[in-house]
Amino acid sequence: MGKIIFWVVAVIVVMAVLRLWNLAKTRAEKSDTVKAKKDNPEAMVQCVRCGVFVPRSEAKKLSDGFHCADH
Ligand SMILES: [Zn+2]
């Protein structure tokens, strides 16, 4: 009887450890994604007319270079 209780407890402990390990892994992956976003902010481009820096998505690409929203 003592052996059965030991194995039941052992299985429960292993399952709990695996669950915690998976949880920690998922959290680490999530924080890696957040960190990657912080490390790679959107590229800034300089307006060729006024020299102001604007995010790439807000700049207009023309034949002579990038332009800010005012040009
Ligand atoms: Zn400009």
- The pLDDT tens digits for 20-64 are 999 998 888 887 776 666 666 789 999 999 999 999 999 999 999
Same domain membership, residue 21 and residue 32: yes
CA of 61 to the centre of ligand 1 (A): 12
Q: What is the extent of the structural domain holding 23? A: 1-40
Same domain for 19 and 49: no
Query: What is the CA(64)–ligand 1 centre distance, in A?
Result: 12
Adjacent-strand bridge partners of 45: 54
Tokens of 56: 């790439």
Do residues 63 and 52 make contact, with C-beta atoms less than 8 angstroms apart? Answer: no
Compute the distance between CA of residue 60 and CA of residue 48 in angstroms, rounded to an integer. Answer: 11
Q: What secondary structure letter does DSSP report for 42?
A: P
Considering the domain architecture, whether residues 22 and 49 belong to the same structural domain is answered as no
Cα-to-centroid distance, 66 and ligand 1 (Å): 8
- Global model pTM greater than 0.85: no
Expressed in angstroms and rounded, the spacing between residue 43 Cα and the centre of ligand 1 is 16
Same domain, residue pair 14 and 27 = yes
Residue 59 shares a structural domain with residue 27: no
Same domain, 17 and 30: yes
Question: Does residue 25 sit in the same domain as residue 57?
Answer: no
